[in-house]
Amino acid sequence: GWETGGNATTTDARSVLPLLAERGLKLYPFPPPPAEAAPNVAIQRLGAPQSTAGGETIEVSVALENTNPGPVRGGLTLQQGGKVVWQQGVTLAPGVSLFSHSLSLSDSGLIPLHATFTPDSPREDAIPQDNQATAWVSVAPMEKVLLLSARAQDNRYLEKVLSNRGLGVTAVDLTAKPAPVPSPESFSAVILNNVAMDKLPPALISGLDDYVRKGGGLIMVGGEESLGLGGYKGTPIEKALPVTLLPPQKDEPHTAMMLVIDKSGSMRRENKLLYAVAGARAMARNLKDTDLLGVVGFDQEPFVVVPLEYLGKIRNDIDDRLDRLKASGGTFLLPALEEAKRQLERHYATRKHIVILTDGETGGSGSSYLDLITAMHDEEKITISTIAVGEEPNLRLLSRLAEYGGGAFHHTTDPSTLPDLSLDELEDKGEEKTMVEKELTPIPHRDSPLLKGLDDRPLPPVKGYVEAEVKEGARLDIGLRADGKRPPLLASWSYGQGKAVAFTSDANGRWSAPWVSWEGFSKFWSQVVRWSLPEVKPKESHFAVELGHNETGLLIDLFSYGASEEGRAATAKVSGPAGSSAAFPLERLAPGHYQGMYATTKAGDYRVEVTVPSGEKLGPLGYTLPPLHPREVPQPQPNLPLLETLAQATGGSVNPDVATLVPPTGPPEQQPLLPYLIPLAMALYFIELLLRRVV
């Protein structure tokens, strides 16, 4: 018999049963009294998939066991490649607790995930070495996406959210010089983000249809330079889209005009200020009641003469307000421009325009002006024209302001021409439009794969879109509630072997400001783009590899599920710390089960590649061999089922009595004791007499 709790440490006790049977030995286990559980917390398992695609979200689980009689508090940390990606305070009840965390892996290759538990009180954790665990995930390279736009700021939101979602984004600003466009064949999808067709290279225009037919993804994002407004009507690119583009229509412009007039002392000469005011009055007479007009005068400081308002409301007050302009002071244009920008930002108009009229130096640095003008033009779609009068103005800067602002530059030495020049700025031939600018409510399609997890909640409104019609055979993923119609906001379809998507609003915040601030914005665009990517059917694998360890080394188990085992032997290649490596065959233990061991006791990271009998390579896989720590932690209860199994298998029993352990060897015999007792009594009598004499 032997005393044991029956709790395995490094080997299975059942493995010695054949040897005991061969020698005819019986087992008589004596379980010890139940021991108190050691005050310990251990990470039992860090769970993660062996492999995933770059950018995909995986679920990581951590199982912790608390053998303390009460709850234990501490911190649980998850690291990816040495960087903390999740940290949480936890309270562990006695027993096993399970925690999970969703994680997106953007790096490719073998990625280590390391979990650590730190108790608030070290006295509650007898073995700190088992407070950590490492799992490895083999991450395939991420999908690559080509993002094209006419302006860099149009890409700022999409580039960020798609990159954060694990896509490899190459963003190209087609107005940059030079702006080489990579071949789409190097990418899984192409996104045309508010870019007119005439900005695209001819080779890309002619090749995109074929690119999608052969399996590529195409996404067109709306805006004032996209879809029908971008010149794509009747082109091969339209053929690949899930929507029919509507031809541009003339739309009567709705103008917001800001006059920025120099009122410095020099404007008194030659009646320049009087002619400038006459030009402002002429503008007011020629604008419609539905147009907006505002006037800002400036010397060293800006002075709002006429706040930007509809002409129908202020027409009768214009003359009196303009009479307040009096020439005096110096010249500083920049604050007046900033005020004009603020006025225009408060109102909607199809055309926002600023006219600057000055006869002197502008003051301030040229770069400050150009930065402001560029932001106004690119972000607010404000155009700027400049009128320089006389011989003193900063002609170079004023001409550049008009160039950067997308307007016209006028220079005159005759102040009497100012009214006519001002009227020239009113000319607008009308813009070709198929866009609608008003707030609309999106209506999602409940079964759209592009809206998975997003169709159970209201979608944010959009403030504008480009009109189009869903083609027959395409799917309307999101419609818009617009005057009894249901125009598409999002449509998709399969085209040849590829897929195409059209989003008729923008993604730069002009029409989509509620979307940009929406918590689902990142998930929405990630799902739209990923849906368009070529479908890579996962290679059916008939094999699985399990890695583990014991006290002598790293264990490798290969399981075959229905695959042919003919061919070469299964082999494994292991690379470990300090450059150690070995290649060896795996032993076939049973049909479909191979096993091998890499003998080592050195803690560290190991890389494993397995070659199956057919020659297919599996992996690489990773495994971290932890440092050695005490083999057996006292358990609260002995493993009685195992002890009973072992005893019964050998013919023994648990907790046997003495009679069982020392059986009788024959029938009992009776022997008389009298021959022994008489001599003993006589000896005791004489000893007593002797003791009396001595005393």
Q: Identify the DSSP state of 226.
A: S
Domain stops at, among 414, 444, 470? 414
User: Could you tell me if residue 174 is inside a domain?
Assistant: yes
Q: What is the pLDDT of residues 610-652, one digit of tens each?
A: 988 878 888 788 888 887 665 444 455 667 777 788 778 878 7
pLDDT tier, 694 (very low <50, low <70, confident <90, very high otherwise): very low
Tell whether 405 and 460 lie within a shared domain. no
Mean pLDDT, rounded, for 443-461: 88
Tell whether 242 and 259 lie within a shared domain. no
Best CA proximity match to 632, nearest among 3, 9, 5: 9
User: Could you tell me if residue 98 is inside a domain?
Assistant: yes
User: Could you tell me if residue 32 is inside a domain?
Assistant: no
Tell whether 407 and 292 lie within a shared domain. yes
Q: Can you spell out the DSSP letters for 276-307?
A: HHHHHHHHHHHS-TTSEEEEEEESSSEEEEEE
Check whether 483 has a pLDDT greater than 60: yes
User: Could you tell me if residue 651 is inside a domain?
Assistant: no
Is omega for the bond preceding 335 within 30 degrees of 0, making it cis? Answer: no
Tell whether 273 and 405 lie within a shared domain. yes
Mean pLDDT, rounded, for 104-121: 88
Q: What is the pLDDT of residues 273-283, one digit of tens each?
A: 998 899 889 88
Q: What is the domain count for the chain? A: 4
Tell whether 245 and 264 lie within a shared domain. no
Domain stops at, among 72, 98, 130? 130
Mean pLDDT of the chain: 83
Tell whether 94 and 188 lie within a shared domain. no
Tell whether 221 and 280 lie within a shared domain. no
How does strand 581-585 pair with strand 617-625? unpaired
pTM exceeds 0.75, yes or no: no
Check whether 431 has a pLDDT greater than 50: no
Q: What is the pLDDT of residues 23-43, one digit of tens each?
A: 777 777 777 766 565 789 999
- How much is the pLDDT for 633? 45
Tell whether 283 and 407 lie within a shared domain. yes
Tell whether 266 and 289 lie within a shared domain. yes
Tell whether 389 and 297 lie within a shared domain. yes
User: Could you tell me if residue 360 is inside a domain?
Assistant: yes
User: Could you tell me if residue 99 is inside a domain?
Assistant: yes
Contacts of 47 (CB under 8 A, 6+ apart): 60, 61, 62, 63, 135
Cα distance between the two ends of the chain: 54
Tell whether 274 and 334 lie within a shared domain. yes
Check which CATH number belongs to the domain holding 70 and give it: 2.60.40.10
Alpha helices in 499-559 (DSSP H): 513-516, 521-532
Domain stops at, among 355, 380, 414? 414
User: Could you tell me if residue 639 is inside a domain?
Assistant: no
Check whether 433 has a pLDDT greater than 60: no
Check whether 127 has a pLDDT greater than 50: yes
User: Could you tell me if residue 77 is inside a domain?
Assistant: yes
Tell whether 512 and 552 lie within a shared domain. no
Alpha helices in 558-665 (DSSP H): 640-650, 658-661
Check whether 511 has a pLDDT greater than 80: yes
Top-ranked range on mean pLDDT: pick from 265-269, 392-396, 612-616? 265-269
Check which CATH number belongs to the domain holding 192 and give it: 3.40.50.880
Q: What is the pLDDT of residues 671-687, one digit of tens each?
A: 665 565 565 556 555 55
* Cβ atoms of residues 452 and 479 within 8 Å: no
Residue 606 structural domain: 543-625
Mean pLDDT, rounded, for 472-485: 87
